Structure 1
Amino acid sequence: MRRKHIVMLVGLGILALGMTACMKKVYINLTYQLPPASEHITGRRVYIETQDMRADTDIFNAAAKEKFQYFSGLFSLAVEAPDQQRFLLGAYPLPALFETALKKRLEQMGITVVDQKDEDVPRFQVKINRFRINLIDQKWQTDIDFEVSLSQNEKRVAREAVSGSGERMKVIGSRDAEKVISEIFSEMINQLNIERLFQQANL
């Protein structure tokens, strides 16, 4: 009987810890919506390099930070395919978030992303200029700005800048913030004209 009581107490303790962890939002759920598959650039290879160039590295304004006060700096990234299949990839800091999403976009187009830097492989460089989540007048606002350059051996560099913002009315909880972040992030990643970058870089 005593053993049953101990097992029950341990089980209740684990449940309580789990509930506490759920209440403390340590990460942001973000879903990247892949665009339809493209076969325009099959057979190419790139190496992705990501740099965080933000002048202000704070992601939140004061009001938003209060709602995400336990945020660890990690984004839980899931990818949703055009057929609505959804895959959870893992938790990433901001630079790796961009790198992982862009890798999925490139692979969707038939481009191979290599893990090792090589002079014979074009460099796909991502510079994150702004990533901001604000809560203003009961509205969640997301503001994203990044730049991508494509080159090989520093010859003929092709560049494209992408920026955008969006907002959603705040209700109870943080899901509305995560939804607007996911929507704007997906829109910005998919807005990047990768085919034109290859054309401009003559690759």
Structure 2
Amino acid sequence: MEKSYNYTLKLFFVFMIIGILLGGCAKSPYLKVRYQLSEKTDILAGKELFVEIKDMRTEKAILGKEAKAYFKRPANRFSLFLAEGEKDKAQLGLFDPPSLFKEAFKQRMEHMGVKVSEVKEKGLPTIIVELEKFSLDLMNNKWISKAAYTARAMSDTGFLFSESVNGTAERQKILGRKDAEKVLGEVLTDSVNKLDIRRLLQ
């Protein structure tokens, strides 16, 4: 009786460990997007603004035909990681495309010394980012991600300045999902860091 009990107990622990290991290896349903901070500077220290994102995409689906067939599920939310140098600095949470870009812009601006207000206040400059494209597809065994937006600086007196930005990233599909995630992170980083924030705030 005691031997049978011990055998059952051992089996229980074996299956429990296997379950934990399998759970740890299970892939997250959310694609990881890594935003790489540009070089830290305090050149805009003391500036404060409000950031607004408008979703102007005509195509709301992120995945193209081949990418959708590969992942077998839509990609509507992303797990955003903040990176500085070669290492991930923090996991910032789950975001849909508009909030993904808003958070990336916020992180970049704060890295430049800008205070990003949570509310729109009178007299505070506003940067309105109109997100026009954010996509991922698989063509000729290559991941291709694209992003496009127009940023407008506004004040209480009206329009100040605008800038349109386009970004494209490509990577050969060797590691599958990991390469897709790298491409998404590259296009997010490239397009967000392209914006001339200093000019917008002049």
TM-score bin, normalised by smaller chain: 0.7 to 0.9
Would you say the 8 A contact 1:26–1:71 is kept in 2?
A: no
> Which entry has the higher C-alpha Rg, 1 or 2?
2
| Per-residue deviation, 1:71 | 4.2
1:43 partner amino acid: G
| Per-residue deviation, 1:173 | 2.5
2:37 partner amino acid: L
Counterpart in the other structure of 1:188: 191
1:118-142: CA deviation from partner (whole Å, max 9, x where unpaired): 1121112111100111101101001
Q: Distance in 2 between matches of 1:129 and 1:167?
A: 19
Q: Distance in 2 between matches of 1:26 and 1:71?
A: 10
Q: Distance in 2 between matches of 1:26 and 1:70?
A: 9
Would you say the 8 A contact 1:30–1:77 is kept in 2?
A: yes
Correspondence for 1:95 among 89, 94, 98 = 98
The answer for unaligned runs of 5 or more in structure 2 is none
1:18 partner amino acid: G
State, as a whole percentage, how many aligned pairs show the same letter.
Answer: 29
Q: Distance in 1 between matches of 2:89 and 2:24?
A: 25
Q: Does 1:121 align with 2:124?
A: yes
Q: Distance in 2 between matches of 1:8 and 1:163?
A: 54
1:56 partner amino acid: E
Counterpart in the other structure of 1:35: 38
The answer for unaligned runs of 5 or more in structure 1 is none
Would you say the 8 A contact 1:28–1:71 is kept in 2?
A: no
Counterpart in the other structure of 1:4: 9
Moved more, 85-94 or 134-143: 85-94
Q: How does 1:9-88 map to 2 (within 5 A)?
A: 11=16, 14-15=19-20, 18=23, 21-22=26-27, 25-82=28-85, 84=87, 86-88=89-91
Q: Distance in 1 between matches of 2:147 and 2:76?
A: 16
| Per-residue deviation, 1:167 | 1.1
Q: Distance in 2 between matches of 1:20 and 1:38?
A: 39
1:197 partner amino acid: L
SS in 2 for 1:190: helix
Q: How does 1:134-145 map to 2 (within 5 A)?
A: 134-145=137-148
Q: Distance in 1 between matches of 2:43 and 2:185?
A: 26
| Per-residue deviation, 1:13 | 8.3
TM-score, with length taken from structure 2: 0.86
Q: How many pairs does the alignment contain?
A: 197
Counterpart in the other structure of 1:175: 178
TM-score, with length taken from structure 1: 0.86
Counterpart in the other structure of 1:132: 135
Q: Distance in 2 between matches of 1:168 and 1:70?
A: 21
Q: Distance in 2 between matches of 1:153 and 1:17?
A: 56
Q: Distance in 1 between matches of 2:87 and 2:75?
A: 29
Moved more, 157-166 or 5-14: 5-14
1:51 partner amino acid: K
